[in-house]
Structure 1
Amino acid sequence: MTPRSFRPASALALLGAVLCGAAAPALADQAWPTRPVRIVVAFPPGAPGDIIARLIQPTLQKALGQPVVVDNKPGAGGNIGMQEVLRATDGHTVLVGPDTMFTINPHVYRKLAFNPASDFVPVTQMAAFSQELVCHPKAGVRSVQELLAAARAKSLDYASGGPGVPGHMAMELLSAKAKVQMQHIAYKGPAPAMQDVLGGVIPCGFLASPTVGPFVKEGKLVALAVSGAQRLRSQPNVPTIAESGVPGYEAGFTEMMAMPRGTPAAAVNRLQTEVARALSGAEVRERLATLDLEPVANTPAQAAARLRAENGRWGEVAGLINLRLD
């Protein structure tokens, strides 16, 4: 078509066709969700991500206008849940679990059937949390330095929620910095690990603060320190590990929400918006505060940037301790 033969009517028709073509996908994206939304929590009930998902589920369900179902698929440091989400092709299956699934698992698991960095798109980091180093009162350990002295004097066991999970990596980082060795006893989630520490079966544990905090307050567990850069608001007398004679130590974590790569951006953004709104509710924030879960609710781009930074940091730690898992 030459400029001379181009007619205004033709231009309007072409413009209308372009606008209609552009609008169709947008309208389709805006309609998301068109069916029930399934949140696959890659850790057992009682884990921080499970607590958050169930806490915001009623608000999300109302906002999205579709049923929202929370489904636990734990195992292999979150890898089983990740595979479950990638198998789904409905565009309505969502992953929830700690950021270690993206920042640690690629460095320590030899046989991953997927690439966490390229096969998922972050929706948001929902909330930040610390791990808490606790011991049974009968262990006779009241501080990090006492724990390290005991570990140097004899073999000492500690429990975590599984291989490569936040508690395990937090202790491995501590062991590397303090140059001590402790025997890792891995459980299938923080709740069963906590039960054995409560029962005195295992003397100590490095577990999520929302899981063990209530028992610390009841005096059933002794809190030695927290892994993050700051003390917990609910336990201001418990020092950080850095304050406990291990300078430079910091191991903070976040609970992630992600979807399979290829999910329309509008769907990802809609979900992030509704999750952020749910986390901003007064009752939700109050409940999260009692569990020492700090809302983050950042954008997909911000979440991706933080994951890249943490991936590099934990990759160095994994290489330092030479941790490899099948």
Structure 2
Amino acid sequence: MIDRRTLLGLGGAMALARPGIAQSWPDRPIRWIVPFPPGGSTDLWARLVAEPMAADLGQSIVIDNRGGAGGLIGTEAAARATPDGHTMLFTITTHVTSPVVLRRFPYDPVADFAPIGKLGVTPLVLCASPSTQGNTVQDFAAWARGKDLSYASYAPGSSGHAYGQMFSDEARLNMTHVAYRGEGPMLQDMLAGNVACAFHSMAASGGAIRAGRIRPLALSGTLRLPSLPQVPLMRESGFSERFAFAGFIGLLAPARVPQPILDRAVASFRKVMETPATLQRLNEIDTIPQYLGPDAFRADIARALRDWTALATELNLQVTG
């Protein structure tokens, strides 16, 4: 049986698909929901892409930061938005990690969205705060062992949360997890020395790392960063292959957006991702460009959901709240 809300959504999509309506998109400013507060890496990536896309589409793109519940609040709002192409979601791997770990699926990470394009990936850097000691991950672990310390994450159920828990477990540190509503607030507490360590993105924390305000110890993923050639991978430092889990950064629309609108958004996003200025800026903030179109991006999201579900089950990683 089809419920009333589904019928309304289908009716709205059919109306939007009438000749002359979809083709006129966008006819007003576009809203991109970013499910984290301003100042973090997701916010930075969104703004980096939004400016050239707005110029290409001829309408402004307004960033709507809606943090909370590991990204679930903003993501659910995007899933429920009117499918007219004027509300989209710019998000990261928490799109799949948070609902799995929170045991709450207010949206289907795959079926409820129409992928526009994948921007790329970024390794997370295990950083130590100025209140700690040790310039390598082994020295930090030796100093931290037996102390009452905490590690931070930018969202409960995020890959940063999982990496922090894996590091604490594998290094036998028994640290307490402190979750934040975004990377910006987490970074401020790291700089103040209120938490011992955290896995950061270079997009948000690169400036603090280069200034020596926090110390990089090791990297997630499978490739070292050219800007930090001396910093090894976690798996090169004696830790498990679980730290190679790969995520994503990208733009999605609500499901049922008319295809002509999606096609234009996809073309604009691809155009921006092929621009040398965009690629240069991403490399400057240590983000690895890895463009994928809609079908390949959907498959990548489904792959990340499968991989993360297996990892979270192995870790017995569950978040309450």
TM-score interval, smaller chain: 0.7 to 0.9
Indicate whether 1:200 and 2:188 are aligned.
Answer: no
CA–CA separation in structure 1 for the residues paired with 2:173 and 2:313: 17
Which SS does the other structure have where 1:139 is aligned?
coil
- Preserved contact between residue 151 and residue 175 of structure 2 (Cα < 8 Å): yes
Query: Corresponding residue for 1:65?
Result: 58
Which SS does the other structure have where 2:248 is aligned?
strand
1:107 deviates by 1.4
User: Which segments of 5 or more consecutive residues in structure 2 lack a partner in the other structure?
Assistant: 1-16
Query: Corresponding residue for 1:261?
Result: 255
Cα 1:75/1:252, change in 2 over 3 Å = same
Cα 1:233/1:227, change in 2 over 3 Å = same
- Preserved contact between residue 106 and residue 115 of structure 1 (Cα < 8 Å): no
Within the candidate set 264, 268, 287, 1:270 is matched to: 264
User: Which segments of 5 or more consecutive residues in structure 1 lack a partner in the other structure?
Assistant: 1-23
Which SS does the other structure have where 2:317 is aligned?
coil
CA–CA separation in structure 2 for the residues paired with 1:174 and 1:200: 19
Indicate whether 1:166 and 2:138 are aligned.
Answer: no
Query: Corresponding residue for 1:15?
Result: none
- Preserved contact between residue 247 and residue 304 of structure 2 (Cα < 8 Å): no
- Preserved contact between residue 165 and residue 177 of structure 2 (Cα < 8 Å): no
Paired-residue identity, %: 33
Larger CA deviation: 276-285 vs 174-183 = 174-183
Query: Corresponding residue for 1:296?
Result: 290
Within the candidate set 211, 214, 219, 2:204 is matched to: 211
State the structure with more CA Rg: 1
The total of aligned residue pairs comes to 302
CA–CA separation in structure 2 for the residues paired with 1:217 and 1:209: 10
Larger CA deviation: 300-309 vs 247-256 = 247-256
- Preserved contact between residue 167 and residue 208 of structure 1 (Cα < 8 Å): no
Cα displacement string for residues 221-250 of structure 1 (whole angstroms, at most 9, x for unaligned residues) = 110011121111211111111111114231
CA–CA separation in structure 1 for the residues paired with 2:100 and 2:309: 6
CA–CA separation in structure 1 for the residues paired with 2:34 and 2:103: 23
1:36 deviates by 2.1
Indicate whether 1:191 and 2:181 are aligned.
Answer: no
1:177 deviates by 5.0
- Preserved contact between residue 173 and residue 317 of structure 1 (Cα < 8 Å): no
CA–CA separation in structure 2 for the residues paired with 1:106 and 1:214: 31
| C-alpha RMSD of the superposition | 2.1
Which SS does the other structure have where 1:154 is aligned?
coil
Structure (1/2) with the larger helix percentage: 1
CA–CA separation in structure 2 for the residues paired with 1:254 and 1:116: 13
Query: Corresponding residue for 1:181?
Result: 174
TM-score (norm 1): 0.85
CA–CA separation in structure 2 for the residues paired with 1:149 and 1:296: 37
1:138 deviates by 3.8
Larger CA deviation: 144-153 vs 245-254 = 144-153
Cα displacement string for residues 21-61 of structure 1 (whole angstroms, at most 9, x for unaligned residues) = xxx85764443323321111111112222112212222111
1:324 deviates by 2.2
Within the candidate set 305, 314, 317, 2:311 is matched to: 317
Which SS does the other structure have where 2:301 is aligned?
helix
Which SS does the other structure have where 2:247 is aligned?
strand
Query: Corresponding residue for 1:306?
Result: 300
TM-score (norm 2): 0.87
